[in-house]
Amino acid sequence: MEGNQTLKVIVSGGGTGGHIFPAVSIANAIKKKHPEAEILFVGAEGRMEMQRVPAAGYKIVGLPVRGLVRPLWNPKNISVMMDFLKSKKMVKQIILDFKPQVAVGVGGYASAPTLNAAYSLGIPCLIQEQNSYAGVTNKSLAKKANKICVAYSGMERFFPADKILMTGNPVRQNLLENKISKEEARKSFGLDPNKKTVLMIGGSLGARTMNESVLAHLDEIRQSDVQFIWQTGKYYSQSIAEELNKQAEVPNMKVMDFISSMDNAYAAADIVVSRAGASSISELCLLGKPSILVPSPNVAEDHQTKNAQALSNQRAAILVTDKEAKDKLIGIALKTVADDTQLMSLGENAKKLAFLNSADVIAEEVYKLAVEYNNKKK
């Protein structure tokens, strides 16, 4: 920044890995370009970001903000609204103390009070929308944002066209920097370095349908010459462990509640079976990974199906619906992983849809807004 001013940025949002990973990636890109920058995260108390953000090396402040309870006339929503107003008051004070030149919102509960407070104090705001169908928080904040960074075309349906910037979704940098070989990556999971490998991930919290799909086809997996790395999600890990204890051992399957070294997991895999969250799709495309996508039906406006269709229409992924998954998913995975020609085609088509340097492009926009803000104050 000009003179002796330090670049100060507030980043807000979270709730799921799909919001947290892009937020941390943007912060990392800002720090890479401007090492002196001070970045403060604002999250929701009790949510995943309160652990993940400090683990990435950033300071975070928690707000008592929560989601509305359905149906909307539920009396519990009175206390939800009280917590929202309390959060807005708290974050206003945080902004006055920290004095940021720009606020970044990535979606999730904490984004709304933070960007509303920033806007009311004249701080420029940037929104990053990961999905092909905009989230409620981001739609409500669109009028207040100076810039809206998106990953899919056609977002004029939700946002003012003159504010939209097509950037793609930032992904975890270590995924792109990982140079480990497929064989070494498999060994790191205690697997045979020479066997075809399927990676099953249901998101950081898990996915019941995908877990049920595996449990229903343990015999097929056991009898195949294919290895599985299976992330069950913390929510389901205990019940799955109990179920597996009743069954014969499956030596060609590595079961984990959460995979911390996702870069190695991707490197080990010939094909990835995943939910169709925006961050996961961005990672798969950047890495050119063949994938089978099982959209979650439990998300707003069924946006994961729209995300998955954007790939399957380009033959860049195979789409299996949540309803079909229990019967068909493992069979399709075993058939596809054995077909080298199809694997190569899926991977190449996915790579064509990738956005490079998303975090850097967004970091540059953040910096521009900060400079504009400083110039106005002179």
pLDDT at 298: 78
pLDDT in tens, the chain (378 residues): 665 689 999 999 888 777 898 999 999 999 999 999 999 999 999 999 999 999 999 999 999 998 888 888 888 889 999 999 999 999 999 999 999 999 999 988 899 999 999 999 999 999 999 888 888 888 999 999 999 999 988 899 999 999 999 999 988 767 878 889 999 999 999 999 999 999 999 765 558 899 999 999 999 999 999 999 999 988 888 999 999 999 989 999 999 998 989 999 999 999 999 999 888 899 999 999 999 999 998 776 788 998 899 899 999 999 999 999 999 999 999 999 999 999 999 999 999 999 888 999 999 999 999 999 999 887
Cα(372)–Cα(91) distance, rounded to whole angstroms?
A: 23
Query: pLDDT tens digit string along 206-234?
Result: 588 999 999 999 999 999 999 999 999 88
Cα(316)–Cα(51) distance, rounded to whole angstroms?
A: 34
Give 43's contacts (C-beta < 8 A, 6+ positions apart). 12, 13, 14, 49, 50, 53, 60, 61, 62, 63, 108, 110
pLDDT at 204: 59
% of the chain at pLDDT higher than 70: 97
Tokens (6 digits) for 47: 């949510």
Per the CB < 8 A criterion, the answer to whether 125 and 373 are in contact is no
Per-residue CA distances from 85 to 2, 66, 77, 110, 264 (Å): 36, 11, 12, 12, 43
Per the CB < 8 A criterion, the answer to whether 121 and 102 are in contact is no
Tokens (6 digits) for 16: 């799921």
**pTM to 2 decimals?**
0.81
| Number of Cβ within a 10 Å radius of residue 374 | 16
Give the neighbor-by-neighbor strand order of the sheet with 125-129: 59-63, 38-44, 8-12, 102-105, 125-129, 147-150, 164-166
Tokens (6 digits) for 82: 């009280």
pLDDT at 237: 86
Q: Phi and psi for 9 in degrees, rounded to 5?
A: -130, 135
Cα(291)–Cα(272) distance, rounded to whole angstroms?
A: 5
Cα(84)–Cα(155) distance, rounded to whole angstroms?
A: 28
Q: What is the 3-state secondary structure (H, E, C) of the chain?
A: CCCCCCCEEEEECCCCHHHHHHHHHHHHHHHHHCCCCEEEEEEECCCCHHHHHHHCCCEEEEECCCCCCCCCCCCCHHHHHHHHHHHHHHHHHHHHHHCCCEEEECCCCCHHHHHHHHHHCCCCEEEEECCCCCCHHHHHHHHHCCEEEECCCCHHHCCCHHHEEECCCCCCHHHHHCCCCHHHHHHHCCCCCCCCEEEEECCCCCCHHHHHHHHCCHHHHHHCCCEEEEECCHHHHHHHHHHHHCCCCCCCEEEECCCCCHHHHHHHCCEEEECCCHHHHHHHHHHCCCEEECCCCCCHHHHHHHHHHHHHCCCCCEECCHHHHHHHHHHHHHHHHCCHHHHHHHHHHHHHCCCCCHHHHHHHHHHHHHHHHHHHHC
